[in-house]
Structure 1
Amino acid sequence: MTSNDMEKLDAVLSGLATDGGPGVIVSVQRAGVPLVRRGYGLASLDSGLVNTPATKMRIGSTTKHFCCVLALLLRNEGKLSIDEPIARWLPELPASQGARTVRQLMNHTGGMRDYLDLSLLSNGLTIVPEEAAFDYQCRQQEENFSTSEQFMYNNGGYRLLSLVIERVIGKPLAHAMRERLFEPLSMYDTVLWSTDLDPLPGSATTHLVHPDGHFTKSLFPSVILGEGGVASTLDDMQRWLSHLVNPALWPHTLSDELMAPTTLSNGYINPYGFGLIHENWRGMTVLHHAGGVVGGTCQMLAAPEQDIQIIVMSNRSDVTAADIAQKLLTALLEPQLTPEDEPADPQLGASLGGDYYCDQSGRHFAIEAREGKLYLVSFGMPLPLLRDGESGLKVNLLSIIVFGIVAVRDSSGAVTAIHVTEQGKTHRCERVSQPVQSASSVEPFSGNWRSDELGADIVVETGERDVLRIVGLYGRNVFKLQPLRGDVCLLSSLDPHVPLHGTLRLRQGATGGRELMLDTSRTRRLRLQERADHG
């Protein structure tokens, strides 16, 4: 380790948490030697305690592979088959949902809907009871897609996986993780912290940052288990990551299985395995998984061949741990890395900018230039566009969100459509020449609606506000409607801390009446039925 390396690491970290607010904790190791082990900012605005290497923070979805390890250990012991339908252990599920396998839950190819997305849609950030997650999964009769057809990130699948494990072993998941994983590896500061309502000594408070810069404390709105419930420290997570790469509690083949890519039914290979991503990044083999909760993020990142391990956790919503971890790895390996993909030319926004819509799939995309960069917007998320060959464009966000984009031009050279390829499937999205602007353009959607799968009543109000109001089982949410076409509206949550966006399609239902179809990034083709008391 050279002084130049330390200067590069310090340059990445020097600007963190200089505003007197919450912050991050960071650990970087090379060949087992700590290069950085430090806390930044405050663990709590109430107490004024600072973040330290011993501060416990939520790791969010980085939890998922812990749950997968337990499932594979039970499989190796002959107690669980990962290729049997989960209805064997969860008979309460409708037949259409119980047909998924444990394997499909672990690699996000089950195709079922996600309780967390459904709850955020209908309840916002209202805290829901412990049984709500399973209740939402049991309400689902339809699906996002057929099994193994796509990869779609699904916290609900990992809640079901957690319940399967609990029923197989006859113990709460927290006990199984402690007895079988944490204690054998001396991870005494790591727990499955299932709810923010329970105190956890030594833990940081998560915080939301508001547009004016002030902070408020945040709570995760549900009980969380194997989908994202672990809280840990830097040292414990480094110990875990070292063991993951060179295991002693289980055979090396189990770690290899966690990291093996997933092949979809169309042959597309996704680098996501069982709760982990193992891929080639800029010429280097890396292993990683990020996590996020309301008001905090985490990233676990390793470059095993270079013997580098990085853990970053934050307790504020405006700091992204994955970005910091990648910059730290880049600082250490820059001379050995292949060049980064070039950003797309923002001037392409003049010819490509605008809205695009696919009639067949109902997918909407927009291309926008913002602050000198070109983005593809998908379900409200701005994704940086990169060059792909001479004329193509692409998106690659943590290898989970990956798109290829090719413009379709007419004889005059004007762009009339884009082909968007995702997981081996191509959407032809026609350019929307000019979104509908009429004051009455939302009127065809107006009325009272019902979704039994949400357990919610819905009202579309037109006039000055043009909103969709959802009254859910435990709370409510309000979405702004923006007409795109006569039969399609874009929707976005009015709560800035519930970043949900989607589309609302008007169509004819099976009985000849009106029907609305709601899509978000993790919920597809959710039917809203017109209520008989409409009008």
Structure 2
Amino acid sequence: MTKMFTLATANASSALHNGFATLIDATIASFYKVNEPGATVIVTCNGATMFRKAYGMASIANQEVMTPEATMRLGSITKQFTAVSILMLIEEGKLSLTDKLVEFFADYPEQGSQITVEHLLTHTSGIVSYTDKEEFDANIAAELSVAEVIDSFKNDPLEFAPGTDFKYNNSGYYLLGALIEKISGLPYAKFVEQRIFLPLDMSCSYYEGYELSLQRAAAGHTYCDGSFVPCDPMSISQAYSAGALVSNVDDLARWENAIVSGKLISAANWTRAFSPHRLADGSSCAYGYGWEIGTLQQRPMLAHGGGINGFQTFALRLPKDQLFVAVLSNADFGIVDPGYVAHKIAAIAIGKPIQDFKEIKLDANVLDAYVGVYTVNALEQRTFWRDADQVLMLRTGGDITPVHPYSDNEFFIKNTLVHMEFVRDTTGTVAKVVLHQNGEVNENLRVAA
């Protein structure tokens, strides 16, 4: 085991030293234009910074060039810090994973008696996510108290019995922030500042609006009517412990070093945070406590992304390679997915680059063979249709997405890790589409032409 660990680390380190930094730079530069919103990127291996650079503009309105030190909203990467805060309080004996929600929130409806702290950490509570509700976007600029946000979802029926299913849920992590405040006696913003950021020398990390010093903050943008403009306003009170933290790539590297060093919590709890949670039926979901769990090029990977007004973010770690990559970008739409960039970088760093697909042209009659409706699950479908020489895809509740052919029956989505294969039955009729993403394979059966 030790020999494998050392070898993997050596491979990643030597790849970065042997000209791969140049390749990483060339790969990233192709995604960002100098006069548009950009990104900051860091790559560390075995605790040492191997690559660090900024691309694009920090502010289009002020014509400020992006710098590596720029701070940005993290969005849901915040959840890592919330989860570790909860584990710190557990180690202090102030709560446990099996404690019920109603033990701390006496006015929470009866369904709170079924929901545990661990359900909240693992997105298995069944609580409706407040950010999925129709009124969320319309009221996103309103300054609300913690109690007011909780009141907006606590009386909704559960989507499933706690512990029986997984559904990503911002309400659970909002409740965890309220729990941290109730148990510690500190505002969430002050808890993460005093218990995490200051001890780890993360001087550029803070709850938005609670900066301890002047920061070089990038402006958030969105893409509208053919150009990038300032992002829509929002009250950070509505992100709170599910997404309100701000940081930069240097501090995220410090966070990674703290994790590797086993700081803040015990080794057992770090292991628990990085282990896939098991549902009531014994099946596992690809989520621990604040981290998604998967693979990259057959290597174990821990990761999380974030999306919030004006910003998209992604950070991943490959523990066996001691490799860490963070990409923070200052546009919430119209810019390459930072998760895609981070995966590409990490794969290059370990010497196993992700395949680049090249688009080809197919005749209309070939494309028409794939048009139809395909079942994703009991509630969702995936529809494909042709518009001139372009195939478009729409998943229930999603956005219309162009898909591009790279063979007679295989397609990809540009600047993502998604590619798919249309499969025919014995009669030659297209019967299903098989989607590949991040090492996961999903089959969608065709139900209508």
Task: Tell me whether the two structures share a fold, i.e. TM-score over 0.5.
Answer: yes
62, 75, 91: which one pairs with 1:60?
75
CA distance in 2, matches of 1:185, 1:237: 11
Change in 2 beyond 3 A, CA 1:385/1:40 = closer
CA distance in 1, matches of 2:358, 2:289: 31
What SS class does the counterpart of residue 171 from structure 2 fall into?
helix
In structure 2, the residue matched to 1:105 is 120
392, 395, 409: which one pairs with 1:377?
395
CA contact (8 A) 1:261 1:272 kept: yes
Q: How high is the TM-score relative to the length of structure 1?
A: 0.68
CA distance in 2, matches of 1:373, 1:282: 28
In structure 2, the residue matched to 1:139 is 155
Return the offset for 1:200: 7.0
Return the offset for 1:119: 5.1
In structure 1, the residue matched to 2:29 is 14
CA distance in 2, matches of 1:385, 1:35: 35
Return the offset for 1:114: 0.8
CA distance in 1, matches of 2:107, 2:420: 40
Corresponding position: 1:431 with 2:447:
yes
Which has the higher Rg, Structure 1 or Structure 2? 1
In structure 1, the residue matched to 2:227 is 213
What SS class does the counterpart of residue 238 from structure 1 fall into?
helix
CA distance in 2, matches of 1:17, 1:341: 18
Change in 2 beyond 3 A, CA 1:341/1:18 = closer
Return the offset for 1:129: 2.4
What SS class does the counterpart of residue 242 from structure 2 fall into?
coil
Higher strand share: 1
Return the offset for 1:244: 1.2
Paired letter, 2:233: L
Q: How high is the TM-score relative to the length of structure 2?
A: 0.79
CA distance in 1, matches of 2:178, 2:99: 15
Higher helix share: 2
Corresponding position: 1:254 with 2:254:
no
Return the offset for 1:376: 6.6
Equivalent positions of 1:125-524 (< 5 A) are 125-127=140-142, 129-131=144-146, 132-140=148-156, 142-193=157-208, 201-223=215-237, 224-317=239-332, 318-319=334-335, 320-334=337-351, 336=352, 350-356=368-374, 361-368=378-385, 377-381=395-399, 414=429, 431-432=447-448
Change in 2 beyond 3 A, CA 1:98/1:122 = farther
CA contact (8 A) 2:230 2:310 kept: no
CA distance in 1, matches of 2:247, 2:31: 21
Paired letter, 1:232: S
Calculate the aligned-residue CA RMSD, in Å: 4.1
Return the offset for 1:160: 0.7
CA contact (8 A) 2:204 2:215 kept: no
CA contact (8 A) 1:166 1:172 kept: yes
CA distance in 1, matches of 2:255, 2:306: 16
- Count of matched residue positions in the alignment of Structure 1 and Structure 2: 418
CA distance in 2, matches of 1:43, 1:245: 31
Change in 2 beyond 3 A, CA 1:326/1:38 = same
Segment drifting more, 184-193 vs 19-28: 19-28
CA contact (8 A) 1:111 1:143 kept: yes
Corresponding position: 1:42 with 2:46:
no
What SS class does the counterpart of residue 270 from structure 1 fall into?
coil
1:263-296, Cα deviation, whole Å (9 max, x unpaired): 2234332221111123332121222111111121
What SS class does the counterpart of residue 227 from structure 1 fall into?
helix
CA contact (8 A) 1:60 1:228 kept: yes
Paired letter, 1:322: G
CA distance in 1, matches of 2:254, 2:82: 17
1:480-533, Cα deviation, whole Å (9 max, x unpaired): xxxxxxxxxxxxxxxxxxxxxxxxxxxxxxxxxxxxxxxxxxxxxxxxxxxxxx
Return the offset for 1:21: 2.6
Change in 2 beyond 3 A, CA 1:287/1:363 = closer
CA contact (8 A) 1:25 1:53 kept: yes
Bigger relative contact order, structure 1 or 2 (CA pairs below 8 A, ≥6 apart): 2
In structure 1, the residue matched to 2:4 is none
CA distance in 2, matches of 1:120, 1:274: 28
What SS class does the counterpart of residue 39 from structure 1 fall into?
strand
1:129-169, Cα deviation, whole Å (9 max, x unpaired): 234421212231x1222222221111111101111111111
Paired letter, 2:228: H
What SS class does the counterpart of residue 313 from structure 1 fall into?
strand
CA distance in 1, matches of 2:213, 2:60: 16
Change in 2 beyond 3 A, CA 1:272/1:22 = same
What SS class does the counterpart of residue 263 from structure 1 fall into?
coil
CA distance in 2, matches of 1:332, 1:428: 33
CA contact (8 A) 1:42 1:51 kept: yes
What SS class does the counterpart of residue 279 from structure 1 fall into?
strand
